[in-house]
Amino acid sequence: MKIAFITFQYPPFVQGGAGNYVYNITKELARLGHEVHVITPRVAGCDKESVEEGLFVHRISFLNKPFLAAPSFWFSLRKNFPSLEQRAGGFDIVHSNGPVDLSLSQKMVSSPRVITVHHLTKAVLKALKPSLLMRVRNLRGEIGIAPFIDPLCIKRADRIVAVSQFTRQDIINVFGIPESRIAVIYAGVNPDDYVFPEEARVELRSTLGINSQQMILFAGKLAPGKGVDILLRALPQVLKEVEVKLVLAGSGNQQDYQHLAQTLGISDKLRFLGRVPDDTLRLLFSSCDLFVLPSRLEGFGRVIIEAMAARKPVVATNVGGIPEIIESGQNGILVEVDNEGKLAGAIVKVLSDKSLARTITENGMKKVRECYVWEIAAQKTERVYNELIKK
């Protein structure tokens, strides 16, 4: 098949799980023998067009400025799509990674249309309850104009790929879309990517100033929805029982969290790394003693299966699609949202009970191999495409 995959995020421009998803699913679809054309914004240092491991990557111009990024990408997409399709000899499938194909009207796209929904922006509003001022300040983000765009792109798609049962049910409840139009396809990992020599792990921990202490890792965007503030508030309670250092890897504004850490008197127990390269992130997963995800909202939680693939125990909140991954006490520990006491207790329990940590780790890896590898995700996506083409 010839597949057009439209995405706002694509390496090196990746801000979270949606960017990692599109990179891996398109690469795996190409391995299955399909001709995949990725259409994405052009960022500094990248060629306008390239071929990467069988993928045809078309980077189109846009204005990477507040309030202008999304509208300029939509304008450029509408302008460039017809010629890209003509050069490819037509597309059998047009697949968008989230509501990014807004400007492509139904008249412009004659092929079956698929959209991947990671989570609904209405769910973000419900979880964060942002003020009007917050929404204005984040106009181009999930709490800005996105809630008005979601229904336009989702309702006109021929098939919807939801990244979890939670997201699938949200789509049904909010938009009344029939179950038959929604396929649940979990994101994946490549477990072999998380295997590193002991020397590499020791060197990384030494670089971070972590020697005899145990290492807690958080990976994700530093944003209110991820619950980083709750994790910081839980840390003083943890430190009463266990000597730890917390490493935070991810983009976002660090200042508010650094200020909170100072207020709590735990600044020397933290390492803010910002966004790190993928290979460094995988090494961080491999080097930590515990991964913690205290999210207030999570459509799926791919970082959890990354931690499992790295053979690390996980503590996370019982929210969104996370309970589909974690059976508490078996392959992880689930705690209530916004409960720093429960979060601290779970962290201490796992770090203090090596037998429990080992059981959680073994069960986590088993579930990853059974359910969460990219090959399975690509095969299921391919099946969706075939069904649409046959219709």
* Tens digit of each residue's pLDDT (9 = 90 or more) over 342-387: 999 999 999 999 999 999 999 999 999 999 999 999 999 999 999 9
What per-residue confidence (pLDDT) applies to 25? 96
| Cα separation, 288 vs 283, whole angstroms | 9
| Cα separation, 381 vs 379, whole angstroms | 5
Contacts of 139 (CB under 8 A, 6+ apart): 66, 67, 145
Residue type, 131: S
What per-residue confidence (pLDDT) applies to 211? 87
What per-residue confidence (pLDDT) applies to 136? 47
Contacts of 320 (CB under 8 A, 6+ apart): 119, 123, 164, 166, 167, 295, 297, 298, 299, 300, 301
Q: By C-alpha distance, which of 17, 43, 191 is closest to 118?
A: 17
Residue type, 113: R
**CB 112 within 8 Å of CB 159:** yes
What per-residue confidence (pLDDT) applies to 133? 57
219 phi/psi in degrees, rounded to 5: -130, 125
Alpha-carbon distances, residue 328 vs 180, 228, 291, 367, 373 (angstroms): 31, 21, 14, 13, 21
Contacts of 71 (CB under 8 A, 6+ apart): none
With the C-alpha atoms ordered 248, 22, 15, 157, is the resulting torsion angle positive or negative? negative
**Side-chain half-sphere of 86: how many Cα atoms within 13 Å?**
6
**CB 10 within 8 Å of CB 46:** no
What per-residue confidence (pLDDT) applies to 65? 82
What per-residue confidence (pLDDT) applies to 135? 47
Which regions in the chain score pLDDT beneath 70?
16, 122-148
The first and second tokens of residue 311, run together, are 């053979």
What per-residue confidence (pLDDT) applies to 137? 53
Contacts of 254 (CB under 8 A, 6+ apart): 222, 272, 274
| Cα separation, 229 vs 296, whole angstroms | 11
Q: Are strands 49-52 and 55-60 parallel, antiparallel or unpaired?
A: antiparallel
Q: What domains appear along the chain, each with residue ranges and CATH number?
A: 2-188+373-390 (3.40.50.2000), 191-371 (3.40.50.2000)
Read off the pTM.
0.83
**Side-chain half-sphere of 348: how many Cα atoms within 13 Å?**
15
**CB 205 within 8 Å of CB 215:** yes
When computed from its CA atoms, the radius of gyration of the chain, rounded to whole angstroms, is: 21
| Cα separation, 160 vs 254, whole angstroms | 35
